[in-house]
Amino acid sequence: MTTGEKSAVSGYLDMDLLRFTTAGSVDDGKSTLIGRLLYDSKAIFEDQLEAIEKTSEQRGDENVNLALLTDGLRAEREQGITIDVAYRYFATPRRKFIIADTPGHIQYTRNMVTGASTANLAIVLVDARKGVIEQTCRHSFIANLLRIQHVVIAVNKMDLVEWSEERFEEIKEEFRKFASRLGNIVDVTFIPISALKGDNVVDKSENMPWYQGPSLLYHLETVYIGSDENHVSARFPVQWVIRPHSDEYHDFRGYAGRIGGGVFKPGDDIIVQPSGFGAKIKAIHTMDGELQEAFAPLSATITLDREIDISRGDMIVKANNPPEVGQDIEAMVCWFSDKPLNGRGKFVLRHTTKETKAIIRDVKYKVDINTLHKIEDDLEFRRNDIGRVSLRTAAPLAYDSYKVNRTSGSFILVDPFTNETMGAAMII
C-alpha cells in the first residue's frame, strides 16, 4: 500500500516517530526552513497564518515572514532572537516529527545540547555563500558529542550562488575534511536547498537538475532509525514499586520503569544493581496484558520469581551483560549555569532514576568547540563551556559509556541549595 492511500483514520496508527534538532543563527534561514516544513506539510493552521500575516504587515515585512511562526515568546519576538529550545510538531502520512528548534549562536550552546539530547537526527544549516564556518563545526561537534547518529548538512541559499553544483561539491569536500576528526556520526547526507524559495525542502528542485538525491522532507520521512536504540545491553531503571494491597493482587510486587536498552523476556536471568542480587523475570505486565518481550523505550512493570529488596534508583539488568558499577566517573560536562564551576564543586547528581551526591575532583580540559582544540590553561567552567571532568559519587552508580547507551550513560548536576540544574554530562 502506498502512503497516499492511507486514510487519516487507519494511516496514523502505525507511523513511527523521528525526533530531530535544528541549530542555526538569526540569518542563516533556520526559522524560514522550519516555517516552510510546517507550512508545506500543512501543520500550520489558518488562524496561525492570519496572526503572522498581521504581524508581518505591522513590521513592514515584504513577504509573509514564516520565521515568525517559530518565535514563540514575546521577549524573543521583541529582540528578534530565539533564546530557548522550542518544540514543534508535524506529521506526514509516513512519520510523525518532533523538532527541537534551538538557537545556533555560541552563547546558546547549552540549548543546542538540550535539543540534541533526545534527537535521532540533526540538521546543520550551511550558508552556500559562506561554506563551512565555525558555526558548522560547533553544531557538528555537538551532534557528535550527544551521539546523534544521522546528520543532514543542508546547504541553504543555493539561489544566491546560482544553484551551482560546483559550490555544493566544494562545501561537501570542506565538511568531509573537518568531519574526519569527529567519531560517532554514522550517517551524513548533503542536500542543496533554498528554504526561502522552497527548493528541495518538500519537493525536488527544478533549479538543480544535477542533484539526484532526495528532498529534505523525503529524507526525513525515510531515513532508517530502527537500529538507533541499543537493543543489546538490557537496562531497566526502577522508577516506582507497585504494591496494590488489594484482594485480587494481594502479593503483587511490581517494579515499574521504562526500558533503557536491550530486550527483556519472562524467564530471563537478571541482577539488580548496585546490590548484585539475582533473580528471574516472572512476568512483564501492562494494563493491557502481559508482554512476551519488552524493549526500549517502552514503559512496563516487571515482577520477579523471588523477593529481593529493590527500590527506586536501582537498575534491573540482564546477568549476561551487566553495566559498570562504581563511584569514580569520567565524563564530558556541558555547563548550564551562570554560576561558574571552579575546581571541586559539590552537587546532587541525578542518573536515570537515582539521586546521590557527587564531588568534582578534577577538571581535565575544556574544548574550544569552534576549533576542537583542548584548552588546558583556563579550567573554570562558565555557562556554555564543555569539557572533561572526574567525579566521585557518594553512592555507587550502575552506568554505561554514553557511546553505548544514552540512558545509562547520562546524568545531570543540581545545585543542592538553589536546586538549579547546573550541568549535564555524558559518561566516557
Partner 1 sequence: MPDYTVTHLNQLESEAIFVLRETAAQFEKPVLLFSGGKDSIVMTHLARKAFWPARIPFPLLHIDTGHNFRETMDYRDNLVSEIGANLVVGSVQKAIDEGRVIEEKGQNASRNALQIQTLLDSLEEGQYDAALGGGRRDEEKARAKERFFSHRDEFGQWDPKNQRPELWNIFNGRMSPGEHFRVFPLSNWTEMDVWQYMKRENIPLPSLYFAHEREVVIRNGTILAVSEFVQPREGEAIETRRVRFRTMGDATITGAVDSNADTMDLIIEEVAAARETERGNRADDKRSESAMEDRKKQGYF
Query: Judged by CB under 8 A, does residue 87 bind partner 1?
Result: yes
In whole angstroms, how close is the CB of 238 to partner 1 at the nearest point?
A: 10
- From 26-34, 88-96, 163-171, 214-222, span contacting partner 1 (CB under 8 A): 88-96
CA neighbours closer than 13 Å in the CB half-sphere of residue 145: 26
Only one residue has cell 497564518, namely 49
In whole angstroms, how close is the CB of 412 to partner 1 at the nearest point?
A: 5
Query: Judged by CB under 8 A, does residue 252 bind partner 1?
Result: yes
CA 33 to chain centre: 19
Which residues, at least 6 apart from 23, have a Cβ–Cβ distance to it below 8 Å? 30, 102, 103, 104, 112, 115, 122, 123, 124, 125, 139, 142
Of 118 and 401, which CB lies nearer to partner 1 in the complex structure? Answer: 118
In whole angstroms, how close is the CB of 85 to partner 1 at the nearest point?
A: 7
Which residues, at least 6 apart from 343, have a Cβ–Cβ distance to it below 8 Å? 360, 363, 379
Chosen residue from 80, 183, 213, 244 binding partner 1 by CB under 8 A: 244
The DSSP symbol for 299 reads E
- Among positions 98-127, residues that touch partner 1 (CB under 8 A) are 98, 110-111, 113-114, 117-118
Query: Judged by CB under 8 A, does residue 15 bind partner 1?
Result: yes
- From 67-75, 120-128, 203-211, 268-276, span contacting partner 1 (CB under 8 A): 67-75
In whole angstroms, how close is the CB of 321 to partner 1 at the nearest point?
A: 16
* 228 touches 243 (CB < 8 A): no
Query: Judged by CB under 8 A, does residue 335 bind partner 1?
Result: no
- Among positions 256-275, residues that touch partner 1 (CB under 8 A) are 256-258, 263
Which residues, at least 6 apart from 288, have a Cβ–Cβ distance to it below 8 Å? none
**In the structure grid, which three cell numbers stand for residue 116, read together?**
540534541
- Among positions 41-60, residues that touch partner 1 (CB under 8 A) are 45-48, 51, 55
Which residues, at least 6 apart from 279, have a Cβ–Cβ distance to it below 8 Å? 269, 270, 271, 272, 304, 305, 306, 308
- Among positions 343-382, residues that touch partner 1 (CB under 8 A) are 348, 350-353
How far apart are alpha carbons 15 and 223 in whole angstroms? 13
* 21 touches 100 (CB < 8 A): yes
Query: Judged by CB under 8 A, does residue 94 bind partner 1?
Result: no
- Among positions 156-195, residues that touch partner 1 (CB under 8 A) are none
- From 123-131, 161-169, 240-248, 275-283, span contacting partner 1 (CB under 8 A): 240-248
- From 176-184, 192-200, 356-364, 414-422, span contacting partner 1 (CB under 8 A): 414-422
Query: Judged by CB under 8 A, does residue 250 bind partner 1?
Result: no
Query: Judged by CB under 8 A, does residue 246 bind partner 1?
Result: yes
Of 180 and 417, which CB lies nearer to partner 1 in the complex structure? Answer: 417
SS3 for 313-365, per residue? CCEEEECCCCCEEEEEEEEEEEECCCCCECCCCEEEEEECCEEEEEEEEEEEE
Q: Smallest Cα–Cα separation from 153: which of 133, 136, 134, 130?
A: 136
Chosen residue from 28, 229, 268, 385 binding partner 1 by CB under 8 A: 229
Chosen residue from 30, 36, 88, 167 binding partner 1 by CB under 8 A: 88
Q: Is 289 left (phi over 0), alpha (psi -120 to 50) or beta?
A: left
C-alpha dihedral (123, 127, 131, 136), degrees to nearest 10: -40
- Among positions 275-304, residues that touch partner 1 (CB under 8 A) are 285-288, 295-299, 301
Query: Judged by CB under 8 A, does residue 405 bind partner 1?
Result: no
Query: Judged by CB under 8 A, does residue 407 bind partner 1?
Result: yes
In whole angstroms, how close is the CB of 84 to partner 1 at the nearest point?
A: 5
How far apart are alpha carbons 283 and 303 in whole angstroms? 5
Phi, psi of 172 (to 5 degrees): -55, -45
Rounded to the nearest 10 degrees, the angle between the axes of helix 134-145 and helix 109-116 is 40
In whole angstroms, how close is the CB of 407 to partner 1 at the nearest point?
A: 7
Of 155 and 238, which CB lies nearer to partner 1 in the complex structure? Answer: 238
Binding residue count for partner 1, defined by CB under 8 A:
82
